[in-house]
Each structure stands twice: as structure tokens, then as C-alpha cells.
Amino acid sequence: MYLEVYEDHEWADLVAEMWTSFMQRRPDARICLPTGETPRPLYASSAPNLDLSSTTVFLLDEFDLPRGSAARCDSMFEQDLLRLLVRPPKAQHRLRVEASDADAECSRFDAIIGKGGLDLTILGLGGNGHIGLNEPGTSMDSPTRMVDLSPATTRAAKRYDADANALRGMTLGMHRIIESDEVWLLVTGSHKTAVLERMLSGPIGPELPASYLRDHPNATVFADRSAAPNL
């Protein structure tokens, strides 16, 4: 795993340059994208130059909240990226958390990703070490599925909408993340320093699912100085 640390004021622009250049090299890539506070400045910086018109986009996860909730990942994705894009994705796929048969919905989503898998998966780092909604306790081979959220994640979702009471969610499986050809983990802000240090130097295992990325052949952590003051 690689680690890049950028000064806070240039983090979004530098990662945006990397992403724009990735998309220029691989316009037809199949990519998975996160939502939340972390990617917001990256999306704002990237959007004017980003051409996703040949790209297939998968949304990483979704909270089990009513449609239209500001904390829903599809709402944030629309607000933070899609509406800013001059050249929107060729195709986009999301986990329909409201489906009556959750297992069938997760299988449907996984089948679209298919054998070819993902070329690039971009992730945020949860305060409890989750990636997607792969919460502590997740094994490395966990499939795409509906999960019960930890109390910390339910609390964290209230940052997006104070009325949100997210107790469950659907997430891309850990095995899909690990199989992705390339993974970028975005980590910003001093509130992520402790979990980033645990992820980088603690044991690799289910207690901190992001730690599995240390064994990935092409994973990069993009941290800002606030998140990584000692690195």
C-alpha cells in the first residue's frame, strides 16, 4: 500500500489531478465512488475537468433511509458530484436499499459489476475503520449485502442530516473492494488521525476493516496533513 500526504489546502486539487488523469488514461473504466464529507472537496475540484461520458459508475453504499433524505448516499452523490458534472457518467448503478428482497438486490448489483470487477474504487475512512459500510467484524470475503450499522455509524450519519436514524445499509462487499484493480482511500481532518494510525500500524483484521487494504497490491491512501500530522 502506498501513502501520499498533501498539505490541507492542496489535497483536493492534487487528488483531483490524479483522478482526472486516471480518467483520461482509462475513459471506459468501471469505477466505484463514495459519498460523505471526505470526497466533497475532491468532487468540487474535479467536476469541471472530469469527463465521465464513457465511464460506468457504481455507488459504494446506501443507508436504509427514506428516499430523498439528505443523508442518503444517492442524495449526496447527486448534490456533491452529479449536478456539477459537465460530462456525466455513461452509466451509473446504485444499491436500491428500498428493494423488498435485499439479497436479490445485492446479487443484481454484484452481477452488473460482474467478473470483470472494478478498475478503481475510491473510499472514505469511517471513524470506526469501516470502508463502505463494511463495519468492524467484517471478514475479508464478505459479499455485497445489507448490514446492521454500528452505533458510531448511525451517529455519523446524523452529520449529514440530523433527523436521519440509519440502522442498516447496503454496501459493496469487502471482497469486491479487495478485488478492485486499484483502490484509493481518502482520509482528511484531524478527527481521522487516530483511526488512520490504527489502520496503518495496528493488526490487519476484522476489527478495523480498512486495514485489509495494507495487503492490496495497488492501494493508495491520500491523506491530508491534518489527518496525518506525523507521517
Angstrom distance (rounded) from CA 113 to CA 144 = 11
* Cβ closest to ligand PGA, residue 88 vs residue 126: 126
Residue from 61, 62, 74, 224 carrying the catalytic annotation = 61
Least CB distance to ligand PGA at residue 222 (A): 13
Task: Assess whether 218 carries a catalytic annotation.
Answer: no
- Residue keyed to cell 491512501: 221
CB-based burial label for 21 (10 Å; 0-12, 13-18, 19+): exposed
Task: Assess whether 135 carries a catalytic annotation.
Answer: yes
Residue 37 found at the interface with ligand PGA (CB under 6 A): yes
**In this chain, which stretch among 33-41, 169-177, 202-210, 217-225 interacts with ligand PGA, using CB under 6 A?**
33-41
Angstrom distance (rounded) from CA 189 to CA 132 = 18
Residue 209 found at the interface with ligand PGA (CB under 6 A): no
Q: Which residues of 156-188 are buried (b: 16+ CB within 10 A; e: fewer)?
A: bbeebbeebebebbbbbbbbbbbebbbbbbbbb
Q: Can you tell me which of 124, 129, 169, 206 binds ligand PGA, judged by CB under 6 A?
A: 124
Residue 8 found at the interface with ligand PGA (CB under 6 A): no
Least CB distance to ligand PGA at residue 192 (A): 7
Residue from 80, 105, 128, 182 carrying the catalytic annotation = 128
Q: Can you tell me which of 31, 36, 200, 222 binds ligand PGA, judged by CB under 6 A?
A: 36
How many other CB atoms sit within 10 Å of the CB of residue 141?
Answer: 9
Angstrom distance (rounded) from CA 74 to CA 68 = 8
Task: Assess whether 8 carries a catalytic annotation.
Answer: no
**Who's near 5: CB < 8 A, 6+ residues apart?**
223, 224, 225, 228, 231
Q: Can you tell me which of 126, 169, 173, 206 binds ligand PGA, judged by CB under 6 A?
A: 126
Residue from 62, 64, 105, 135 carrying the catalytic annotation = 135
Least CB distance to ligand PGA at residue 59 (A): 13
Angstrom distance (rounded) from CA 169 to CA 200 = 26
Task: Assess whether 134 carries a catalytic annotation.
Answer: no
Considering only residues 135 to 194 of the shown chain, the ones binding ligand PGA according to CB under 6 A are 156
Angstrom distance (rounded) from CA 21 to CA 26 = 9
**Who's near 189: CB < 8 A, 6+ residues apart?**
37, 38, 224, 226, 227
Least CB distance to ligand PGA at residue 28 (A): 27
Given the rule CB under 6 A, which residues bind ligand PGA? 36-38, 124-126, 156
User: Could you list the active site residues?
Assistant: 61, 128, 130, 135
